[in-house]
Structure 1
Amino acid sequence: MVDPRYIGVFHTVVRTGSYTAAARSLGYSQPAVSQQMRALERSLGTALFLRVGGGLELTEAGRILATHAESVVDDLTAAENKISAVRELRSGSIRVCAFPSASATLVPRAVARATEEHPELRVRLSEAEPPDSLEALRRGECDIALAFSYPDTEELPGEEVTGTDVLDDPLVAVLPGEHELAGRDSVGLGELAGQRWIAGCPRCREYFTRACSEAGFEPEIAFTTDDNLAVQGLVAAGVGIALMPALVLSFLRHPNVVGVRVAGLEQRRVTAYALREQRRIPATALMLDTFGRVGAQMRAED
């Protein structure tokens, strides 16, 4: 394998016409240039220059290399410039995988904040519920995975993954506007025993049924859907009530439903995950920090 640094020196020797002139152009000593050209010839197994009179003349192999050297140097220079732009966040892209309510709340605020300071940064968003989002992260399909977890269901992402806490998201009972408890500031989950329920995603449903059991009743689940808007439509139509994260109602609320805090329930935790190695990449480090700051701001606004 030819050392690309030698190609750059070779190109300068050809351009300037001598080792001495190339050394001046590169800021090297003349023996250093001679040494690198001998190393290049050894790696290629053939001579590249002939000394004719007081100057240098390219061999046939040297002429072949010279026809490619300029494009190699140009490509390396372009690559260095692009890497520098990514390092300095003057360009680059990052892939974020988030669950739907985070896509509608946390992600827009974080992207707006990050791109205000670094307008050339490009963000590609995909959606998945946990644990699918974490699996996508491990497979290299995204750079950051926003995921949520409930008490006793904390993620065990593995040593290769690191997490940044974003916020704790309280749970609310979603009730029809005319429900007898709709005017309350908060309710206990036990007060909702005997109601018909609409359940959400598998992870949310697992926590919900466990919480109901701890409150002393088994919920009657009348309908199951992952669609947050559908849940609210069903609640508004009187099909049942639901337990939903407050994050959902912060951006989307059916006009005929209300959200009432449920006292005594622990909040679900939202975390931004990345591979440990990925944290060294400036765009990833920036977005992880930005998600943390946006989460802190949203907590302060609550």
Structure 2
Amino acid sequence: MVGNLEYFKVFYYTARLGSVTGAASELSISQPAVSQSLKALERSLGVALFQRAPKGVRLTGEGQLLYSYVAKGYEEIERGVEKVKQMLNLELGEVHIGASDMTLRFYLLPFLEEFHERYPGIKVIVANAPTPETLKLLRAGEIDFGVVSTPFDQGADICAEPVREIEDVFVAGRRFISYKNKMLDLQELEKLPLIYLEGSTSTRTYMDAYLAENNVAVQPEFELSTSDMIVQFALRNLGIGCVVRDFAMEAVESGRLFELRFNKMIPKRQFCVVTSRKAPLGVAAGKLLEIMRNQNRRTRDDS
């Protein structure tokens, strides 16, 4: 049994300072309280730890051995306390974020740049994953928060905060120029070679559900892993790409691609910041979210 840890604290400071008076001053207790604690520790160990010296006290052989271990423990504690203070002051720490290529590129990246400039001692670790995987990481406690796109299964354990609208579009190149500026029915998509995202991304899930609601059944010509690659395939006239508008914006503005127009608008979706209702945020993660929320408020006020 270690016994009363307070005795070891008194022992540590007395040994380090070589003085009962110094230990009492350091610990803000009386000299008799220091002497009583040392005597109690010596009784519990059955050995003398100090002997009187011309000025103060000095360790016995047994005291020196004990001090070599106790000092390591208390110095580690002091270092730990200092590290915690540094974390509270945002001088060091880590933030773990989950984000897809889309949410990282078209929402999160400017905030990470600002945060890194203001707090260079904080390490930011991004788990690059689609929305379903990001939610799994959040529920498992492996990330502090995530940035995802709707639709997704929120659940009572997840808090979702919408931060930006996004819009899904169909884009095409010169091979399909006859469709430019035409008002199309969604059923027309059944006849066209489509380029879709593969897998269970929120974008693919959303478009599949939306077209099914409108009795449109499509069989994509290509299923790709990234929206950037969908744009590249569309630029090479391999089909009509289904992407979030941001990915195709540059190609559309330059005239290399155009957006198909439909007589029924595809409803907009949202980027959302998701946090766990079960796990508290760390100081660094909280500060990054504060920066993001402040910017969102300024954007809303400007608009």
| Band the TM-score falls in, shorter-chain normalisation | 0.7 to 0.9
Count of matched residue positions in the alignment of Structure 1 and Structure 2: 296
- Structure 2 regions of 5+ residues with no counterpart? none
Deviation sequence 1:232-257 (CA, Å, 0-9, x none)? 12222333213222343357879622
Give the Cα–Cα distance (whole angstroms) in 2 for the partners of residues 73 and 83 of structure 1.
15
Aligned partners of 2:230 and 2:243 also within 8 Å:
no
One-letter code of the match for 1:179? Answer: I
Using the TM superposition, give the Cα deviation of residue 89 of structure 1 relative to its aligned residue in structure 2, in angstroms: 0.7
2:258 corresponds to? 258
Q: Does 1:69 align with 2:67?
A: no
Aligned pairs for 1:206-217 within 5 A: 206-217=205-216
Deviation at 1:48, TM superposition (A): 4.8
Separation in 1 of the partners of 2:258 and 2:212?
24
- The alpha-carbon distance between structure 1 residues 168 and 64, as it changes in their structure 2 partners (threshold 3 A), is same
CA contact (8 A) 1:197 1:241 kept: yes
- Residue of structure 2 equivalent to 1:198: 195
**Where in structure 2 are the equivalents of 1:31-50 lying within 5 Å?**
31-37=32-38, 40-41=41-42, 45-50=45-50
Within 5 Å, which residues of 2 pair with 1:1-302?
1=2, 6-37=7-38, 40-41=41-42, 45-50=45-50, 52=52, 56=57, 58-150=59-151, 153-156=152-155, 158-159=156-157, 161-177=158-174, 179-183=177-181, 189=186, 192=189, 194-201=191-198, 202-203=200-201, 204-249=203-248, 256-259=256-259, 264-276=265-277, 278-294=279-295
Distance (whole Å) between structure 2 residues aligned to residue 3 and residue 261 of structure 1 = 77
CA deviation profile, 1:150-209 (whole Å, cap 9, x unmatched) = 2xx4422x52x433332232222222256344457x976456453221111423223212
Q: Is the 8 A contact 2:146 2:273 kept in 1?
A: yes
CA distance in 2 between partners of 1:208 and 1:219 (Å): 10
Distance 1:280 1:244 in 2: 33
Is contact 2:231-2:248 (8 Å) kept? no
User: What is the TM-score with the length of structure 1 in the denominator?
Assistant: 0.80
Q: How far is the alpha carbon of 1:129 from its aligned partner? A: 0.9
Instruction: Write out per-residue CA displacement over residues 52-76 of structure 1, whole angstroms, 9 at most, x where no aligned residue.
Output: 5996453443221222333333322
* Alpha carbons of structure 1 residues 208 and 75: separation in structure 2 relative to 1, 3 Å: same
Contact kept, 8 Å, 2:228 with 2:247, in 1: the verdict is no
Letter in 2 for 1:172: V
CA contact (8 A) 1:170 1:261 kept: no
Residues 261-301 of structure 1 show CA distances to partners (whole Å, capped at 9, x for unaligned) of 76532322222233345544111112233344455667789
Contact 2:96 2:145 in 1 (8 A): yes
State how far apart, in whole Å, the 2-side matches of 1:196 and 1:223 are. Answer: 8
What SS does structure 2 have at the residue aligned with 1:105? helix
- C-alpha contact (below 8 Å) 2:172/2:235 kept by paired residues: yes
Once the 2 structures are TM-superposed, how far is the Cα of residue 146 of structure 1 from its aligned partner? 2.1
Identity in percent: 20
> In the aligned structure 1, how far is the partner of 2:300 from the partner of 2:188?
27
More off after superposition, 271-280 vs 207-216: 271-280
Gaps of 5+ in 1: none
> Quick one: which amino acid aligns to residue 196 of structure 2?
A
The two structures, once aligned, show a CA RMSD in angstroms of 3.5
